[in-house]
Every structure is written in structure tokens, then in C-alpha cells.
Amino acid sequence: MCASKSWLRLMTSFVGTAVIALAVGYAARVVPHWFAPQGAGIDHWFWKNYVETYRRQRRFPPALTQYVLDQAQWYPPIFPLFLRRLPERILDRYSHHVAIVIDLIRMLLLMAVVAWETGGSQRSVLLAGLVYALTPIQVFYNIQLNPRALAALMLDVLLLGLLAWLQYGGGWAVWLAIAFVAALVLLTHKMTTQLFWFLMLVTGVLYRRWDVLLLIPASIAMALILSGGFYRKVLVAHWDIVSFWNRNWRWIGADPIRESPVYGDGQYERAEKLHKHGLRGVLWHLFILFGFSPAAWLSCLLAYERLSGASHFLIYPTYILVWLFATCAWAVMTSFAKPLRCLGAGYLYVYNSSFLCSLLLAVTFRYTRSPRFSTTFALIALGLNAVGVLLYYRYFVHNKRTRVDTGLDLMIGELRAREHGLVMCIPSNWHEVVAYKTGYPVLWGGHGYGFRLFEPIWPRLQLRLSDIIQKYGVRYLLTSDDMLVPAVERELADAVIVKHGEYRLYCLPISDASPAQSHV
């Protein structure tokens, strides 16, 4: 009876603490939608388009003919299949909450692990929850539908299972279960796949565990089996995007016109460009790496506690600390090592550090041998995360590329009222929302396979705009008054211009040689 009451008290305290932390996490993630009630996030509209087209066509993968520069939708299949299973009304009305809910499930898993490890310490559970809830990249990335959240949850489960297997054993049955979850990661998200492979490589080599290294080929084989061979196409598409960025990593986030070899002067660099030149570029990388997850980098300093800590869960050798170090190292490597920049924007990998660092901070907070120091340390990490979230809100309010404001919504309505035709957007961020809200074809691609098709127009224009219009049969150009340069405006002299505030819709004359219909 006493044990039962003790367990009940433990569960009650955990639920109360978890609810508080989850409420903070949810509130932090919905704030951007208060600033952008018409919609936010670039990829969000693509995934809505994908799922709705999939429902209409009843075939997988769907043919998204609106994106005239895509060859095939060979994206990892689990996330769209998951969205397909959601009730249509739920996805339509609450689509912006899907990534938030997945992220909060990940947060709940974190707090459950901390509660288990610390004997239900409310302070530790609350600390873990708040650190995770206020990690800037978790707020930043989950404003939209995205597969990264689901893949990160799977990777967390995988690493927890691997930790238990490495420390306590369990035989090949457990190893196969881990390989199964690994296959699900491969079938969900490419950047998470790359991080998983790196973590297994580091763990296998560092601890001389060939069975851990074997998880890499085993995950590929199991993904092929589970997908009925479709993962072969995913691998081809994976190589396609890596090859594309190997050629173009210098231009991630570049201004498509001012940094174009046709219109640019070779000196201008957009402020938000990822890989800037010189010291400015180094400082920018350090700023965004630290700014998106300050607690992760501070948590790497916990080696002193882990090497001598009293925790029976994270005794030395400390796998979770190693995985946090490896994740942060991978973020640094893909940011600064030129041969690795084709593997994705390095700062996005700190998304996978949030779970690990929150767990380490909470457990250290409970088992520390220096309570005064560790309490201060944990509160500093939490405070820096909170500051990062506030800075992100400020950035979001002033950045119109990743959200739909009233002006852009009105221009999309104006476009929708006009004759069907191919649309080009500068900036390219608007292609997704235009494709979804108008149903018109867009001069865009890069979702599954076929990156060479749109390389002439992105990430920077490699042809004159007039030649692009002629080659593809562009009927409309949606842009803003700060995006174009005089040389481009002269090429658009024959267009009818519709204006609303800073937004511009150029309605282009139809040429007899226009090949528009052949592209859609």
C-alpha cells in the first residue's frame, strides 16, 4: 500500500511539473503564428500540397506537376505517409500544430527519462523541460510542417535504446530493434540520416564496437526491405541534393540577383547568406551555431561532472555526452569544413542536440557534487536560451520571406483572379505558398529528384531574367520593390505592373515562342 501511494505521488508530481513545462513550450511555439496569422514557414505549403495531391491521385509518390523543375518526388516516405493518415479536417485546420505536437512529444519523452533517472525530482524535470521548451531552434523550425521533428524523435528513441543496450546488454533481438528504428530514421529525413551515420561511426570507432558500426549497413538494408525498394530512389535523390550543394554551397542564402554572375558585381553579399567570406563569415557561423542552441554548447562543458559524477545512469564512459559532443562537432564540421558543406546547413544539426543537452543539464543538476556552481550554470543556460528565443521573435517580425502578411496575401489573391499561367517568385521562398494557394504552376523544384533542372535559376540566376521568361514561358513575376535591380526592371518594361505597398506583380506578355504549356 505504501509503495502504491509513493508511486501515485511520484506520478502526480511528474504530471503537474510536465504540464507546466509543456505549457511554456507550446506558448513559445505559437507566438510566431500570432505575428503571422495568414501562415508561416516555407516548407509548410509544400507538404500541404503534397498530401492533398496524394489524396486526390491515390498513388505514391504523387506527381506534383505544379513544380515544373522537379523530376520526381523521391523524398523519404514516412512523413508524408504519416500526414496522409491524419484526418483531412484536422490537417487542414491544425496543420501548423503538427510539428509543435511532435516536438512536445519529444519534450515529454525527455522529462519522463529525467524523472526515471532522478527518482522523480521535480526540479530536474522542470529544468529539463524548460531548457528544451526555450531552445531557439526548436521554436524557429517548428513553425511549419516538417519531417525533421519526427526524425529527431526517432533518433532520440534509437539513442536511448542504444544506451541501454551498450550498458546493460540484451542480445541481438535488441540490436535488431535498434536497427529497425534506424531504418525508420532513414525513411524519414536525410539530414538526420547523415547525423545518425556519423554518430554510429564515432561510437563504433571510439568504443571499438563493430556491432555499432554494423548498424549503418543494417539500417540501409532494412530501409530497402521496409520500403519495398523505394529507399533506392531515396538514396539516388539523396546523392542528387548532396551533389547539387557540392556545386553551390557558396550561394546558400545568397541574393539571387545581386550575387548572380549575370547581374552581380562580385562584391555584394546578402546579410543572411550562410557562408560569407573572411572573418565576417566565421563570426556569422559562430553566432548562429551558438544562438540557435546556447544550452547545447554550455552542456559540452559538463565533462567535468560526468567524469566524476555519482549518477548510475550516466557513468563514465558517458555515451550521451559523447553523442552531444559528436552532434555539436558535426554542426561545426558542416559549417566550416568546405568538403562537408554540401551535407546541409551546419546550424540545423543543433536541432538534434536539444534532447541530449537538456537531459545532461537536468541529471547533472540532480547529482552534482558542486550544487552552487551547477545551479548557476544551469540557470545561465536556461537564460541564454530564453534570450535566443526573444531575438528570434524580433527577427521573425521583420523577415517577410518566411511568412505571409496581409500584403502578400492580397497579391496572391490578385494573382489567383488572373488567367492561369506559370509564376516565378523573387524571393524564391514564395513559390511554395503561391503554388498551394493559387494552384498555378511555379518555376520551382528541388523537393525530391532533379536538382539540375532548376540550377540555372537557383540559388542565383545564371541566365538573364528575360531569357528565363522566354525559355520557360513565365507569365507572372511576383516580387517586391527591394528585390530587383535597374537592369532587371528594364527587361520587364513591357509588363503590366500591379502594386500593393512594397509588393509587385509583373504580368508578362505572352510570346508566340513561349513554351509554357510544355512545362506543365
Any idea what DSSP says for residue 208?
T
| pLDDT tens profile 409-447 | 999 999 999 999 999 999 999 999 999 999 999 999 999
Query: Mean pLDDT throughout 170-193?
Result: 95
C-alpha span between 437 and 143 (Å, rounded): 18
| pLDDT tens profile 349-398 | 999 999 999 998 888 777 766 667 777 888 899 999 999 999 999 999 88
C-alpha span between 248 and 503 (Å, rounded): 29
Is the CB of residue 145 less than 8 Å from the CB of residue 33?
no
Sign of the CA dihedral with 441 first, then 447, 452, and 455 last: positive
Q: What is the pLDDT of residue 303?
A: 63
Q: What is the pLDDT of residue 8?
A: 62
Query: Mean pLDDT throughout 7-16?
Result: 71
Q: What is the pLDDT of residue 121?
A: 87
Q: What is the pLDDT of residue 70?
A: 94
Q: What is the pLDDT of residue 317?
A: 45
Q: What residues form DSSP beta bridges with 476?
A: 423, 507
Range of lowest pLDDT (328-332, 407-411, 488-492, 509-513): 509-513
For residue 164, what is its C-alpha cell? 541501454
SS3 120: coil
C-alpha span between 460 and 425 (Å, rounded): 13
DSSP codes of every residue in 294-330: HHHHHHGGGHHHHTT---SSSPSS-HHHHHHHHHHHH
For residue 444, what is its C-alpha cell? 520551382
For residue 87, what is its C-alpha cell? 484526418
Q: What is the pLDDT of residue 511?
A: 63
Please provide the distance, in angstroms rounded to a whole number, between the alpha carbons at the two ends of the chain.
Answer: 71
| pLDDT tens profile 491-510 | 999 999 999 889 999 999 87
For residue 480, what is its C-alpha cell? 517586391
Q: 503-507 and 496-500 as β-strands: parallel, antiparallel, unpaired?
A: antiparallel
Q: What is the pLDDT of residue 169?
A: 80
Query: Mean pLDDT throughout 447-468?
Result: 94
Range of lowest pLDDT (35-44, 256-265, 337-346, 455-464): 35-44
Q: Map out the domains of the chain as residue ranges.
A: 2-35+74-398, 406-519
| pLDDT tens profile 73-130 | 999 999 999 999 999 888 888 999 999 999 999 999 999 999 988 888 899 999 999 9
Please give the share of the chain, as a percent, with pLDDT higher than 90.
Answer: 75
Element (H, E) at 179: helix 171-186
Range of lowest pLDDT (263-267, 433-437, 457-461): 263-267
Q: What is the pLDDT of residue 301?
A: 81
- Residue 40: which pLDDT band, with cuts at 50, 70 and 90? confident
238 HSE (CA, 13 A, CB side): 19
Nearest to 71 by CA among 446, 398, 505, 409: 446
Ramachandran category for residue 450: left, alpha or beta (phi over 0 → left; psi -120 to 50 → alpha): left
Quote the crossing angle between the two packed helices 354-367 and 88-118, to the nearest 10°: 30
Residue bearing the bigger pLDDT, 215 or 372: 215
Q: What is the pLDDT of residue 13?
A: 72
For residue 431, what is its C-alpha cell? 513559390
Is the CB of residue 120 less than 8 Å from the CB of residue 161?
no
C-alpha span between 436 and 453 (Å, rounded): 21
| pLDDT tens profile 306-325 | 555 544 444 434 788 899 99
Q: What residues form DSSP beta bridges with 44?
A: none
Sign of the CA dihedral with 55 first, then 59, 60, and 64 last: negative
- Residue 54: which pLDDT band, with cuts at 50, 70 and 90? very high
